[in-house]
Amino acid sequence: MAQRRRPIRDILVVLAVVSAFEVRAQQPSDAEASPASEPQGEVLDDRLRKLEAMNRAIVERLDRSERERLRSEDRYRSLESRYEDLLKRLDAKPDAAADALPDPLPPRPAFREPGRQPDDDRPRGLAEHARGGAFADRLLIGAFGEGFGLKTEDDEYQLRFRVLDQTDFKVFSPGNQIPASSGIYIPRVRIYFEGQLTRLFQYEVSIQRSVEGVWDLLDGNVDVNIDPRFKVKFGRTLVPYSYDWYDHLEQYFITPERSLFPLNFGLSRSAGLMAHGRLFEDRLQYAVGGFDGHLVGVADNNSTRDAVSYLNAKPFAQSERWPWLKNLNMGVSGYLGQQVRPQKPLPMRTSLQSSENDEAAQQATSLFLAFNEDVYLLGGHSALAAHVAWYVGGLSFEAEWQGGRDHYARAGSFQPVSVPVSGNHITASYFVTGEKVTDRSRVDPLRPFDPLRNGWGPGAFEPFARYSELRLGETVFKAGLADPNVWTNSIGMTDIGLNWYPTSFIKIYFDWQHAMYGTPVMLNKDLRSNVNDLFWIRGQLYY
């Protein structure tokens, strides 16, 4: 580099000298000069002096630049030498090289157990350090996004805290139904704790207060993340049956609640052991496991286990030829089990997901079928489902077809009676404010409505519509399991409404639900009807 710069400097010096001689040569000799040319000679002398001064400045600038370059090269060689020396020391003795590096942070105060002496520096109760098997305090980093979280710098240990709060404003029509009653209800308040203890072990613990007003365990499981293609989960978790249940949580629903079949015959959450994962570059998702098989309440009073399986394919997930089909989902799911201890069945509902049947649960929804007091679940139960879901641009489309069979018995005989059941739903929505979807997950409005932060946009608007139906076999009446003069064994239902997302964490549902019964249903002692309506507003906070 220095050899290239020196010829340039020499050439400039030579050019300056040559220019000076040329100017001199252009001046007339004293003998030939006339009195009129004297002023012109003075001008040329002045120009020559300015040119020589400019040349001297250029040479000085070049010299200064050369000296700075040489100093930079010396610093670079010094740093390179130190770097190579550190590499050699690290290869020879890693711990010694690490000790030689300066500590970028001041020492942090250690957490001490109660009663522990200050001079006892042996770490206790802390995660084992990956290197060397020793315990050590770790720096925690806080983050807020979809929940509040704490994690270590290497992401090995994480804790996320999330909250879901839903409040319903329901107006039933006719308004004199019994037991359904217009009013304000709290279908779900949930607190989630989830994270990981190293990348191998992920965990989830959550509690819920449902419409009954009782706090109880919702989820409690550990997921062993052996490989994205094969994971093992054990504990209480979502059962992998029905796309409506397993693909996305309640906070991401298009409509306020699930369609009729999964609302009344879904397996919800159970304790069990499950293998799951994603194969073929996320083109195929699978889950298979065994679960406790309880159908009512939280506690399991059954001594057998249900076998459950789920498959979801995205055949065009990696397609570049048909990008609009990347988020097309198709799949099947099913379960097979046995109820060996008699259990009271829940009534059939239109707008409430609950594993209990207390007074609050009865008032928060219309009923279209309730079993007689002497009827129990007993015997085999099974179901199959097939689903299609497609998300493209602002469009969400979901459809599922279900069929199953349950067994019931009456007190005294306990001879199981088989009752077939079938159902389906078609649901669609579209973001008219321009938001794009690839699945049902958090929505970030393009122009959020948050006036206190100078956000005066409209938020995100998502109109939706759904048709859902459910039918139980005539055996439910012929076997004396329910009263055909009071209830119906078939129902069709529409939901038409609008979802408003002011921000990423707030969602407001506006829904008109219209139920159409196959035979008149008793709404109170003096009123039977083939239809009834629900005008429903749900406010939701989730972060």
Check whether domain 140-542 has CATH 2.40.160.10, yes or no: yes
pLDDT at 161: 95
The answer to whether 373 and 344 are in contact (CB under 8 A) is no
pLDDT at 358: 78
pLDDT at 40: 65
DSSP per-residue string spanning 501-536? ESSSSEEEEEEEEEEEEEEEEEEETTEEEEEEEEEE
From residue 229, give the alpha-carbon distance in Å to each of 282, 284, 285, 286. 9, 10, 9, 9
DSSP code of residue 418: E
DSSP per-residue string spanning 268-303? -EEEEEEEEEEETTTTEEEEEEEE----SSSS---S
CB atoms within 10 A of CB 117: 7
The answer to whether 201 and 225 are in contact (CB under 8 A) is yes
CA distance 533 to 517: 12
The 3-class secondary structure across 366-411, one letter per residue, is: CEEECCCCCEEEEEEEEEEEEEEEEEECCEEEEEEEEEEEEEEEEC
With b for 16 or more beta-carbon neighbours within 10 A and e for fewer, the 391-410 pattern comes to bbebebbbbbbbbbbbbbbb
Residue 83 corresponds to which amino acid? Y
Local mean pLDDT, 10-residue blocks, the chain (543 residues): 49 50 48 50 76 79 80 80 74 51 44 39 39 62 86 91 97 94 96 95 95 90 96 96 93 96 90 96 96 68 83 96 96 93 91 83 94 92 97 98 95 88 98 97 95 92 98 96 97 98 97 98 94 98 94
DSSP code of residue 477: H
Q: Residue 287: how many CA atoms within 13 Å on its side-chain side?
A: 25
Which residues have a Cβ under 8 Å from the Cβ of 276 and sit 6 or more positions away? 231, 233, 240, 285, 286, 287, 288, 289
pLDDT at 42: 74
Q: Which two tokens stand for residue 117?
A: 């002496």
pLDDT at 156: 92
Tokens 């805290």 -> residue: 161
Residue 409 corresponds to which amino acid? A
DSSP code of residue 134: -
pLDDT at 63: 78
Q: Which of 363, 196, 381 is nearest to 306 (CA)?
A: 381
The answer to whether 160 and 149 are in contact (CB under 8 A) is yes
